[in-house]
Amino acid sequence: MVENDIFRALADPTRRLIFEKLASGGMNASALGEGIGVSQPAISQHLGVLRDARLVREERRGRFVHYEVDPDGVALIAGWLAKYRAYWPARMDALRGVLKEMDP
């Protein structure tokens, strides 16, 4: 299931760290691994999980592989969350402000 892959992918703190680092700009796998205290294969495996969850997409660039956030995965979370909009408390109108600021 799609939602299952997404939430399982985000359940791991190392994977969230990778994702959040990637959200600040696309980069290749080795650059992603810097600062995170795990081996290169671990990074590769994490990226595989994030890719299967559609949170990340890759593009070969010579011998590098460029990774970037996949908007599809983010949209899937937003879609899931929208089902529970009835429970968003009033103070979350900060989020509404954010969305308004996105308007053209």
Min dist CB 67 to DNA, Å, is 8
- The whole-angstrom separation of Cα 29 and Cα 6 is 20
> What does 43-54 look like in DSSP terms, one character per residue?
HHHHHHHHHHTT
Contacts with DNA, residue ranges (CB under 7 A): 8, 11-12, 14-15, 28-31, 37-49, 58, 60, 62-65
Q: Is 78 left (phi over 0), alpha (psi -120 to 50) or beta?
A: alpha
Nearer to a second copy, 62 or 89 (CB): 89
- 62 binds a second copy, rule: CB under 8 A: no
One-letter identity of residue 37: G
| DSSP H helical ranges for the chain | 2-11, 13-23, 29-33, 40-52, 71-82, 93-102
- 95 binds a second copy, rule: CB under 8 A: yes
By CB under 8 A, name the one of 2, 18, 23, 49 that touches a second copy. Answer: 23
User: Residue numbers of the site for a second copy (CB under 8 A)?
Assistant: 1, 3-4, 7-8, 10-11, 13, 16, 20, 23, 69-72, 74-75, 77-79, 81-89, 91-92, 94-96, 98-99, 102-103
